[in-house]
Structure 1
């Protein structure tokens, strides 16, 4: 989640606990918190979903969808985002921690997968009829992704009948500005069936904070041999694909990378795919 959205979430749940009732009470609570900020205008707020929390009785995870206008100086931006509140009969909190594991319960919550999650345009390796399906959200300049993702790619390439990998771009632009251009290049490569470019992006040497698009294109061309123009990576279909991936991440409450789902379930260990590797 971006720092701006995090600050909104903190502001929204400024007091850690409050009395809760039905859905309307939860929404009223959210609106009252946001209304305290004169720079925020609420367009809509709704309960998108209510999800059980595995192993925790008496609490539900409320997925709250928000559409707001945020004004900073002379600029006003419309922002759509979703956040989670944990609700019991009498309490609301923005954070729950499992005392035994120390794990944030938020990581255990999973909304329903979109019907089109296994879209052919996102399939980069493996057989679509494979017994096991992986969904991966990644940023090629995320340091942990650069260690983790190449191993996943290799595993699926070597076991195509057992696994299919559906890749979703989630560039963390606030941290790695250069990743926005890289994922555009990757989108074009995917459409052309040049999946090896995806592998190469995880090895490319580049300053993650670089914003000059022409320089980024030149670096990619020099290191991978794959040459594209600014026009090619800004075609309308590229914009649509990137937006779709971003919206899919939002629906699934994915805010960090890498995030992987194995056979429809979020894998917080990130290691379950290894059991399908040929021995």
Structure 2
């Protein structure tokens, strides 16, 4: 999530409990809070989904979809984003924590998966007919991803009839700008049938703060032998696919990496795929 969206997040504007009655009260509350910001013009605010919260009675999670115009200086941008509010019979809050586990309840919420989530163009490894389908949102320069993803890729490659891995890019550019270029390299490599380059992106030795695209491409060429030009990684189809990945992450409220879904359910443990590894 960009800093701009963070500043608009319902999580930021709804910092305390308030009384609520139904969906209309939730929307009225959101509009009232946002309207206090003179830089914001609300085009629409809707309840996208109302979801139960596993193990927590009396509360529901409302996925709120917002379409706004944000003006900063002379620039006005139209932005659409989703966020969550927790609602009981009489209360609304943006934060809810499980007292027993200390876990932020947001991590337990999962909107419905898009119908096209298992798009063949996102299939990285495994058979589309495999009984277990994995969806991964990742950034090759995320330290946690670099520890986790190589093992996951290896497991799927060695068990292609058991698992299929659908890969979605979520480069955290504010933290490590170089990932924005690397994911474009990964897209071209996948289309070229060079998936081994994708694996190498999780091991490449590169300063994550580099922003010079040509310098990044030169490092990739030196480290992997795979040489691409800026023109090759800025084709319209790449822009379109990366844009779809961002939208999909947004709709599923994925803001961190790695995030994995196993057989349609978010796996907070990130370990469930190991059950599908064939024992030798």
- The residue that corresponds to 1:181 in the other structure is 181
- The residue that corresponds to 2:106 in the other structure is 106
1:11–1:34 Cα contact (<8 Å) kept: no
Cα distance in structure 1, aligned partners of 2:176 and 2:133: 28
TM superposition shift of 1:11: 4.0
TM superposition shift of 1:75: 2.3
1:145–1:257 Cα contact (<8 Å) kept: yes
Mean Cα deviation higher: 260-269 or 36-45:
36-45
Partner secondary structure for residue 100 of structure 2: coil
- Deviating beyond 6 angstroms after TM superposition, the runs of 4 or more aligned structure 1 residues are none
TM superposition shift of 1:2: 2.8
Partner secondary structure for residue 49 of structure 2: strand
Cα distance in structure 2, aligned partners of 1:181 and 1:157: 25
- The residue that corresponds to 2:213 in the other structure is 213
Cα distance in structure 2, aligned partners of 1:4 and 1:238: 24
- The residue that corresponds to 2:152 in the other structure is 152
Cα distance in structure 2, aligned partners of 1:2 and 1:269: 26
- Residue by residue, what CA displacement relative to the aligned partner does 1:14-65 show, whole Å, maximum 9, x if unpaired? 4x11111121111110011011111111121111111111111111100001
RMSD: 1.0
Partner secondary structure for residue 232 of structure 1: coil
1:133–1:163 Cα contact (<8 Å) kept: yes
- The residue that corresponds to 1:89 in the other structure is 89
- The residue that corresponds to 2:120 in the other structure is 120
TM superposition shift of 1:244: 0.8
Cα distance in structure 2, aligned partners of 1:81 and 1:43: 12
1:11–1:33 Cα contact (<8 Å) kept: no
Structure 2-normalised TM-score?
Answer: 0.97
Cα distance in structure 2, aligned partners of 1:4 and 1:91: 27
Question: Which consecutive unaligned segments of at least 5 residues does structure 1 have?
Answer: none
- The residue that corresponds to 2:18 in the other structure is 18
- The residue that corresponds to 2:229 in the other structure is 229
- The residue that corresponds to 1:4 in the other structure is 4
Partner secondary structure for residue 107 of structure 1: helix
1:139–1:179 Cα contact (<8 Å) kept: yes
Equivalenced residue count is: 278
1:21–1:90 Cα contact (<8 Å) kept: yes
Structure 1-normalised TM-score?
Answer: 0.97
- The residue that corresponds to 2:165 in the other structure is 165
Question: Which consecutive unaligned segments of at least 5 residues does structure 2 have?
Answer: none
Partner secondary structure for residue 51 of structure 1: strand
- The residue that corresponds to 1:33 in the other structure is 33
- The residue that corresponds to 2:274 in the other structure is 274
- The residue that corresponds to 1:52 in the other structure is 52
Cα distance in structure 1, aligned partners of 2:268 and 2:12: 27
- Residue by residue, what CA displacement relative to the aligned partner does 1:99-149 show, whole Å, maximum 9, x if unpaired? 000000100001111111111111111111111110000000111001000
- The residue that corresponds to 2:263 in the other structure is 263
Partner secondary structure for residue 37 of structure 2: coil
